[in-house]
Amino acid sequence: VVASRNVDNIEAEAEKIRAKKQSAIAIPVDVTDAEQVDALVAKTVEAFGALDVMVNNAGRWGRSHQAEDTPLDEWRDLVEQNLTGVFITCMAAGRQMIKQQGGKIINIASMLSFQGGIRVASYTSSKSAIAGLTKLLANEWAAKGINVNAIAPGYFATNNTAALQADEDRNKQILERIPAGRWGDPKDLGGAAVFLASSAA
């Protein structure tokens, strides 16, 4: 199941999966809307019989501000997307997985969950909270057969970081701190997600 607010994008991704002779459906969803998320879980179970793995990768990067200059409306909007949306999705997935007596939830945190960063108070706070939420859910649901983990990527070349990549000075500073000397590629995360989704984890 491919789910996002971006309807055109999810249908294209679902089509790529179908081209590999696998079943796929695209479901539009806003993760900050609990009713839409509940419907996503229900449609998934209707189509496939269960919800075995949920990857929570909806989120965005905020604009850079000194902490004291962060606009509150931007803070609230980003925390709603990056943290509340993940919590809503975890709750819906958790309820289904408790019924099934098992499942895997993989949240996307950030290296800033641990390092703090600079000039991104709303983003760092939301992603730090994801790390804490993941630990709490892992503790609460382990006895119910549900594994809850998080992947904490560094700097990845995505639409979220386009402004950072385009800023010549900031891009240089970032690349100087990355041992591989390059931005991460989203494909770099695939192996970690597959492992965490598997019985090996």
Q: What is the DSSP secondary structure assignment for residue 200, as one 8-state letter?
A: T
Strands 53-56 and 2-4: unpaired
Give the count of alpha carbons within 13 A of 173, CB side only: 8
Q: Where are the alpha helices (DSSP H) in the chain?
A: 7-19, 34-48, 72-79, 85-100, 112-115, 121-141, 162-166, 168-177, 190-197
Closest CA to 123 of 157, 158, 74: 74
The SS3 assignment for 105 reads strand
Q: Compute the distance between CA of residue 122 and CA of residue 82 in angstroms, rounded to an integer.
A: 9
The SS3 assignment for 161 reads helix
123 is catalytic: yes
Candidates 31, 94, 105, 123; catalytic one: 123
Give the count of alpha carbons within 13 A of 111, CB side only: 10
- Yes or no: say if 99 and 117 are a contact pair by the CB < 8 Å rule: no
Tell me the catalytic residues.
Answer: 123
